[in-house]
């Protein structure tokens, strides 16, 4: 991982540039904090050889950093990011991680057809996407893709700034395994861990 103080500053600058240019897809007032990323990374199961973790909405790499620090091999991490500028930043910052620029609502095609990664190798999906602020058809498409890719017992880890335990109807196809509020994030966020039945 090529993470330096200057890459951290570049990440913050890029984040604010992207949020000013197009706030809806970013869906946050500030980059995710390290404790939030660590809390999400702790929920990723131990990977077997040949398995992958897919990160949706990797942004500038705040959660990516914590996934790698938790011991996930960069070669087993696939980060999906819609923004061209953020994707380029991620590739420079994390050269071992497979960074794919694209739309998460086309996840299976992005992995298999465009990049030769078998969707059956995906053990876990970690999502930083703002599911509560994206249009319903987009959310339904993203979650249908996740549902089709994950094996039975596969985890879908999502954070939200809605810290109430209000169920998100879009996630009803998954079983909620646990939930925890991360107060040491700005703003506070809730991490939900779902499993595919």
Instruction: Please tell me the predicted confidence (pLDDT) of residue 190.
Output: 95
**Nearest CA among 79, 66, 4 for reference residue 31:** 66
Instruction: Please tell me the predicted confidence (pLDDT) of residue 29.
Output: 55
The third-level CATH classification (topology) of the domain covering 5-195 is Rossmann fold (3.40.50)
What is d(CA 121, CA 124) in angstroms, rounded to the nearest whole number? Answer: 9
Instruction: Please tell me the predicted confidence (pLDDT) of residue 165.
Output: 79
**Nearest CA among 153, 149, 101, 158 for reference residue 126:** 158
Q: What does the domain layout of the chain look like in residue ranges?
A: 5-195
Taking the chain (197 residues) in runs of 10, the rounded mean pLDDT of each run is 52 54 55 90 97 96 97 98 94 97 96 93 97 92 97 96 84 93 94 96
Contact 110, 100 (CB under 8 A): yes
Contact 58, 90 (CB under 8 A): yes
pTM of full prediction above 0.75: yes
């Amino acid at each position: 991982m090529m993470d330096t103080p200057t890459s951290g500053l570049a990440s913050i600058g890029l984040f604010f540039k992207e949020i000013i240019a197009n706030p809806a897809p970013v869906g946050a007032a500030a980059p995710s904090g390290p404790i939030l990323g660590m809390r999400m990374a702790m929920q990723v199961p131990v990977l077997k050889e040949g398995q992958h973790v897919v990160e949706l909405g990797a942004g500038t790499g705040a959660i990516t950093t914590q996934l790698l620090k938790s011991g996930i091999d960069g070669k087993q991490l696939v980060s999906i990011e819609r923004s061209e500028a953020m994707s380029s930043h991620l590739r420079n910052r994390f050269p071992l991680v497979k960074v794919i620029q694209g739309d998460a609502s086309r996840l299976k095609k992005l992995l298999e057809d465009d990049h030769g990664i078998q969707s059956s190798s995906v053990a876990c999906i970690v999502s930083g996407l703002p599911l509560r602020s994206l249009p319903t058809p987009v959310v339904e498409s993203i979650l249908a893709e996740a549902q089709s890719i994950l094996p039975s017992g596969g985890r879908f880890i999502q954070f939200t700034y809605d810290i109430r335990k209000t169920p998100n109807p879009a996630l009803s196809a998954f079983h909620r395994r646990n939930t925890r509020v991360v107060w040491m994030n700005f703003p506070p966020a809730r991490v939900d861990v779902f499993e595919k039945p």
